[in-house]
Amino acid sequence: MPESIHQHANQLLAQRRIERLSCEDEQWLITHLAECESCVAADTRMGEALSALRTMPIELPRNLASRTQLRVRLRSEELREHGPANRLIWAVAAMSWILGLAMAPFVWRGFEWLGGELHLPKLVWATGVVLWWVVPALVATAVVLLGHKGQHGTNE
C-alpha cells in the first residue's frame, strides 16, 4: 500500500483520540484497520504510550495552588475595577452632558435674569454659568481620583 494511505490512517488514529471523526472517515479507518496489521500495531502502540503518560507522576511546585489563587484574586479585582462600575460612571457622565447641553439655554436665561435683577455685570453672571458646570465636574473628578487612589493605596 502507498505510504500516504498509512500516514492518513495514522493521522485519523491520532485525531480519533482527541475528537470524533466524521462517519466517512471512521468507516474508512475501520476498513483500513481490517486490512492493515501495521496500522493496528501503530494504534496499539499509541494507546500504550498514552496510558504510560497518564500513569506517569508529575511533580508540581508546592505553592502552585496558592500562587494560582493569588493570580485569580488579582484578576478578579482588576475585572471589578474595570467592570460594570466604570461603565455606570461613564453612562452617568454621558447622561449628565446630554442633560447639561439640553438645559444650557434655560440656565443661561436664568443667570441672565438673576444678573439683571441684581444689577450684576454680564461678566459676573456669565462666570456663574461657567461655574454651574465646572464645579460639579471638578468635584466628580476629585471623587473618582480619590477613589482610585484609595483602591491602589490599599493594594500595595
Closest CA to 130 of 102, 100, 153, 151: 100
Residue 101: predicted pLDDT: 84
DSSP state of 118: T
Residue 153: predicted pLDDT: 55
CB atoms within 10 A of CB 110: 15
Residue 156: predicted pLDDT: 45
What one-letter code names the amino acid at 50?
Answer: L
**pLDDT tens for each residue of the chain, 156 residues long:** 567 898 999 999 999 998 999 999 999 999 999 999 999 999 999 999 999 988 888 888 888 888 999 999 998 887 777 666 667 777 877 888 888 888 889 999 999 999 999 999 999 989 998 888 888 888 877 877 777 666 655 544
The DSSP-derived string for 72-97 is HHHHHHHHHHTSHHHHHHHHHHHHHH
Domain limits, the chain: 3-55, 83-155
Closest CA to 45 of 21, 17, 5: 17
CB atoms within 10 A of CB 64: 9
